[in-house]
Structures are given as C-alpha cells and as structure tokens.
C-alpha cells in the first residue's frame, strides 16, 4: 500500500478521538489534514493549545483487565494506540486506576501526531464541512457554528450537561486531618488523600450544598446529565445519603487518628507526578465558584486553607443519534463521505473516545483502499462499544444516550455463570475474540516494510 497514493482525509478536532484517528490513518499512509480551532479559539473548558487535552478528570479509570474499561485499555495497547501509549508514559499513582499527568500526556500526543509524515495541522474554527472524506471528531464541545452546519446532515442536535471537579493545591491541605490511603489498600496503599467527615460534619455539608447558589443553564436548555458524571447537587437532590453511598463512601478506609471508619470521606486523586495538584474525586459541581470555595473550606475538614487551582464547572455536551444516523462503517447514511468519531457519537469517556477514533480510522482506510471494514467481534470491548454506537446492543425503540464501556453492552455469556466468575469470563472471551480479529487489522507502513 505504501506505493499507492491515497486520498487526503480531513479530521476535524484534535481531541482524543481526532488525535487517535489522525495518527492511525497517517501511520497507514493516508495523508491527513487535522483541523483544530485552537489556538485561535477555545471552548470554555479548554485551557491549552495541545491536542488530546484532558478537560475533566485526569483518570482513565480502572486498569484492571477484568473490568470493562481495563479490558478496553488492554485492547488499545495491543493495537498500538497513541493515546494509551502516552497515558502509560505519564502515569501517576492512583491505585488500580490509570491516571495521568495531564500536561505531559497531551504534550506527547501532540508531538506524536504533528511528527508523522503526511499530517498537516490547520488551525482555526471549521464552520462548513470541506470537500472529500471528512471525520468529525469535535467531541462534546462542538462549536456553535459547526453544530449548525452539522444540523443540515443530522437534524436536531442532542445534548446533555457534563461537569468538572475542582482541583486543589497539595501544599494547601491540612495533613494533620487528611490521611493517605487507598480503599482496601489497593495500589501502593497511599495513592489518595482522604478528608474524613463525622456524621454531623457530613449532614452540615449536605445542608450547605442544598442551600448553595448554582450556575443556571441557558433558559432555552433543560439540563440532561450523564449518569456517570452527576454534579453533587443533583445527587443530593436524590436524597441526603446519596453522596455517602457514592463518591463519599468511606468503606475500606480507616482514619488513623481514630482507627475507625469515618462516616463519610472526600477522596483526592493526584493530578501530577509531583503531587502538587489533587482532584476532588466525584465532586463535579454546578455551584458558583464563590459558593464552592465557601462550602468546601468551611464544611470539609482539611480544606480550611485550600487553594483551588481549578473550580468546578459545567458545560454542554453535544452528541448525535448515531444508531439511526450512521452506517456500519460509522459514516453518515445520508452523506457517506462524512464519518464520525469520539464522544459526538455517544461514547462517554477518554478511552472510549480514543477507541472510537481508532475504529473510524480503520473504516476510512477500508473505504479509501476499496477494502471491507470489519468491526471487532462483539465479544471484545472495542466491539461492544461499536455495538453501542451502531445500535446493535439496544432494542429498536431505545432512547439513545451516551455510555461508558460496560459489560451491559457485551453479548451475554452463554449458560449459567456464577456472579464471582463473570468478569473473568467476559475478559477471557474478549481476549480470544481480539486474537482472532487482530491478524485482519491493516498494518502500519513500518509493519508492512518489516514483514
């Protein structure tokens, strides 16, 4: 294939999906024009000019290969994903989770993509789809101008609200109150900083959250939140004990001052390798910035003198009704030259976005070379995610909503399987499916030359 001149592809968006897609196409000899509106314009959540910027958590979630997301990690590693390679290179301690130093991670992805032969990066906002093959990988924060353009092809846009957790400076924490530990001693045992609350402190905090002033959405938009990333105010509305059984669950932790399990706990996860910045795990919020600082510093032990490096905030996520709009190769049924990748398709999460970008690259490559796009087996994590986007995992009347990779998207295991054995069986079956599919994946040019 290296002697055949392939048609240039435009990839719109330099996030995780767009970066992965551009990388995989260029490695196979496809010339790519990567359109990224930064640095000329940024969304409200973006702060740097790098590709694959992590605007929410710095965690890629569990790296346990028997979890659905950990299985997806393993599959992308086997497929030489630039996103997983960069994440592994900039890993920070986080128990069994894969968390990264976000600046180093994004910098490595940016260098890798820009450094590939055949990749042309063009800065500036896209407000009309260019001619030729196009991959729309603009993510959940697609600009208003491009959203209006896309509505010509996909109809009324869908959206929901996503929210970011605050980040605290490590040296501003009161370590006479806080203690380092992971639940059940997982990881190195001290990967997280924990802020313990008594029963009285917890319910005082709940009362303040209920009374706190919140940022209101635009009057013409009704908030629809992703269940896996709910603001703490929305969780509190569901009951005073919701947080205590959710992100503030103390099970598996003991306060060394008392030797007892606290009533509730706020966990902080390391943001950088030096431990200078810590993310408030599960504390996505739409409280105003002033209220966040007041409530968190007065109600959460250990945060009395906290310096907040980033306050929590909310933003609108845009996604399309992929099962009804996209064909089996992730291109628009109404406009087959236009492909979609990443969160705009209705996958949720960093790794899921990268996986979708990878699959779209294979689909585009098959189109350009006259081959047939063969999706991964449904039994793999990649295949299960594909089943979600194409609707194969859902009934015909399903109200399509974004989803992380979960075992609920996989085909059921045959026969009766004990609950304790299910995850291992899913993982084993997925590895077998990936091994069968891998030989048919078009190799990169360097792999072709070496073979």
Q: CA 354 to CA 422: how far, in whole Å? A: 26
Q: What is the pTM of this model?
A: 0.81
Report how far apart, in Å, the C-alpha atoms of 429 and of each of 130, 327, 371, 422, 432 are.
42, 27, 27, 11, 5
Higher pLDDT pick, 206 / 157:
206
Judged by average pLDDT, the poorest of 31-40, 76-85, 115-124 is 31-40
Closest Cα to residue 75, out of 283, 325, 384?
384
Look up the CATH architecture of domain 164-316: Beta Barrel (2.40)
Q: What average pLDDT does this structure show over 198-207?
A: 98
Q: What's the rounded mean pLDDT across residues 231-242?
A: 95
* 438-444 contacts at long range (C-beta below 8 A, 24 or more positions apart): 438/78, 438/79, 440/374, 441/79, 441/362, 442/1, 442/28, 442/362, 442/365, 442/366, 442/369, 442/371, 443/28, 444/27, 444/28, 444/80
Percent of the chain with pLDDT over 70: 92
- Residues 299-320 as b/e (b if ≥16 CB within 10 A, e otherwise) read bbbbbeebebbbbbbbebbbbb
The stretch 364-377 carries a mean pLDDT of 97
% of the chain residues with pLDDT over 90: 70
Select the highest-mean-pLDDT range: 11-20, 280-289, 317-326.
Answer: 11-20
Architecture of domain 9-157+320-450: 3-Layer(bba) Sandwich (3.50)
pLDDT at 219 over 50: no
CA–CA separation, 297 vs 300, rounded Å?
Answer: 6
- Domain boundaries defined on the chain: 9-157+320-450, 164-316
Tokens (6 digits) for 88: 């592994």
Average pLDDT for 175-193: 84
**pLDDT (average), residues 370-394:** 95
Confidence of residue 42 (pLDDT cuts 50, 70, 90): low
Task: Specify the pairing of strand 91-92 against strand 97-100.
Answer: antiparallel
Q: In the numeric block, which tokens belong to residue 416?
A: 């009766």
pLDDT of 220 = 42
Measured in degrees and rounded to the nearest 5, phi and psi for residue 257 equal: -70, -30
Tell me which of 24-33, 134-143, 172-181, 198-207 is least confident: 134-143
What is the tens place of the pLDDT at every residue in 136-182?
999 877 888 888 899 888 987 667 766 778 999 998 999 999 999 98
What's the whole-number mean pLDDT along residues 3-9?
83
Distance set, CA 256 to CA 95, 199, 244 (Å): 19, 17, 20
Q: How far apart are CA 45 and CA 43, in angstroms?
A: 5
Report yes or no: 359 and 437 within 8 Å, Cβ to Cβ: no
pLDDT score for 43: 60
Residue 216 pLDDT? 74
CB-facing half-sphere around the CA of 112: CA atoms within 13 A: 27
- Closest Cα partner for 347 from 395, 384, 398? 384
pLDDT of the residue at 4? 63
Q: What is the pLDDT of residues 331-343, one digit of tens each?
A: 999 999 999 999 9
**437-447: pLDDT as tens digits:** 999 999 998 87
Q: Given this model, what pLDDT does residue 431 score?
A: 97
The mean pLDDT of 426-436, rounded to a whole number, is 97
Instruction: Give Cα separations from 179 to 263, 274, 370, 431 (angstroms).
Output: 15, 17, 59, 39
Task: Write phi, then psi, for 403 (nearest 5 degrees).
Answer: -150, 145
């Amino acid at each position: 294939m290296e002697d055949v001149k392939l048609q240039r592809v435009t990839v719109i968006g330099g996030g995780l999906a767009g970066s992965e897609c551009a990388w995989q196409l260029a490695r196979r000899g496809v010339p790519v024009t990567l359109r990224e509106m930064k640095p000329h314009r940024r969304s409200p959540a973006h702060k740097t000019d790098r590709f694959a910027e992590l605007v929410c958590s710095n965690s890629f979630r569990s790296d346990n290969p028997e979890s659905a997301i950990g299985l997806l990690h393993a599959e992308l590693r086997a497929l030489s994903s630039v996103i997983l390679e960069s994440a592994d290179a900039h890993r920070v301690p986080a128990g069994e989770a894969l968390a990264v130093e976000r600046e180093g991670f994004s910098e490595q992805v940016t260098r890798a993509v820009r450094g590939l032969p055949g990749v042309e990066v063009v800065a500036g906002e896209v407000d009309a789809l260019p001619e030729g093959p196009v991959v729309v990988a603009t993510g959940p924060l697609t600009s208003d101008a491009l959203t209006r353009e896309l509505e010509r092809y996909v109809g009324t846009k869908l959206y929901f609200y996503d929210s970011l957790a605050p980040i605290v400076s490590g040296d501003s924490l009161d370590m006479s109150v806080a203690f380092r530990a992971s639940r059940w001693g997982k990881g190195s045992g001290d990967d997280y900083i924990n802020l313990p609350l008594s029963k009285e402190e917890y319910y005082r905090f709940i009362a303040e959250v209920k009374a706190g002033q919140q940022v209101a959405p635009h009057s013409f938009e009704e908030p629809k939140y992703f269940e896996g990333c709910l603001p703490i105010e929305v969780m509190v509305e569901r009951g005073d004990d919701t947080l205590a059984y959710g992100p503030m669950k103390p099970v598996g932790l003991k306060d060394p001052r008392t030797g007892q399990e606290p009533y509730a706990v706020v966990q902080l996860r390391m943001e950088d390798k030096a431990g200078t910045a810590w993310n408030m795990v599960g504390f996505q919020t739409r409280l105003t910035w002033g209220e966040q600082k007041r409530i968190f510093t007065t109600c959460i032990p250990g945060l009395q003198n906290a310096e907040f490096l980033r306050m929590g905030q909310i933003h609108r996520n845009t996604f399309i009704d992929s099962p009804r709009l996209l064909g089996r190769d992730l291109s628009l049924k109404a406009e087959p030259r236009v492909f979609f990748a990443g969160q705009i398709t209705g996958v949720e999460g960093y790794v899921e976005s990268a996986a979708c970008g990878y699959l779209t690259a294979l689909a585009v490559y098959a189109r350009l070379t006259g081959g047939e796009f063969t999706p991964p087996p449904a039994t793999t994590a990649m295949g299960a995610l594909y089943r979600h986007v194409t609707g194969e995992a859902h009934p015909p009347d399903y109200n399509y909503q974004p989803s992380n990779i979960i075992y609920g998207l996989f085909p059921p295991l045959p026969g009766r399987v004990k609950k304790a054995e299910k995850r291992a069986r899913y993982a084993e079956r997925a590895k077998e499916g990936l091994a069968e599919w891998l030989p048919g994946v078009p190799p990169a040019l360097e792999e072709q030359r070496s073979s």
